[in-house]
Amino acid sequence: MIFQIIGIVILLAFYACYFIKMLNQKKKGITTDQIGKGKVGAVKIIEIVMKIATYLVPFAEVISIVLATPAFSLGVQILGACVGLVGVVIFIISVVTMRDSWRAGVSKTDKTDLVTSGIFQISRNPAFLGFDLVYIGILLMFFNWVLFAVSVFAIVMFHLQIVNVEEPFLLSEFGEDYLGYRKKVCRYIGRK
């Protein structure tokens, strides 16, 4: 029962941050959800499939939490809770640090800043890292093969989004500034 409560708290905190930020930006006239908008070809496909994945995972997570089907030892479940909570903290810090530059998907029409301060000094993609850690944490607490499949699918789609959409966009928008940043900070975690 305790892991069910922890799992629900992780999901509520994570998605509350996401939607509160989205609503706050909407009040300022900022469209946060840019996924698939104004894109064509592979970029549009990657973003749309990524969005589908992000809807599938919480659905599978909630069902897994409700059914409480732990397949791992207590130690692994505790590790999962810790990983999930760290993921939430990383995600919240990254969203706060980005201020109004935060978007879901890239936008060629909205001008934003290249954020390299705070948590972005140790990860170029802390929001995606937060997503991944939450998914892995919930998976470790409530492992089942369906949850495993959708979680891995979403993590792969996030990676494809970063490599094939976000990084080329940032390079085209910020040029040498982004190249310099990319040389100093790892894609997911660490400094080079």
Q: What is the pLDDT of residues 163-191, one digit of tens each?
A: 998 899 899 989 999 999 999 999 999 98
Q: State how far the Cα of 74 lies from the Cα of 72, in Å rounded to an integer.
A: 7
Q: State how far the Cα of 59 lies from the Cα of 140, in Å rounded to an integer.
A: 16
Calculate mean pLDDT across residues 33-41. 70
Closest CA to 83 of 138, 23, 165: 138
Percent of the chain's residues with pLDDT above 90: 62
Instruction: Report whether 8 contacts 65 (CB < 8 A).
Output: yes
Residue labelled with tokens 């040498």: 176
Grouping H, G, I as helix, E, B as strand and the rest as coil, residue 191 is strand
Query: How many CB atoms are located within 10 Å of the residue 109 CB?
Result: 8
Query: How many CB atoms are located within 10 Å of the residue 121 CB?
Result: 14
More confident residue, 111 or 114: 114
The per-residue pLDDT for 12 is: 95
Closest CA to 89 of 55, 59, 127: 127
Whether the per-residue pLDDT at 70 is higher than 80: the answer is no
Calculate mean pLDDT across residues 40-51. 85
Cβ contacts of residue 123 below 8 Å, gap of 6+?
90, 94, 129, 185, 186, 187, 188, 189, 190
More confident residue, 34 or 49: 49
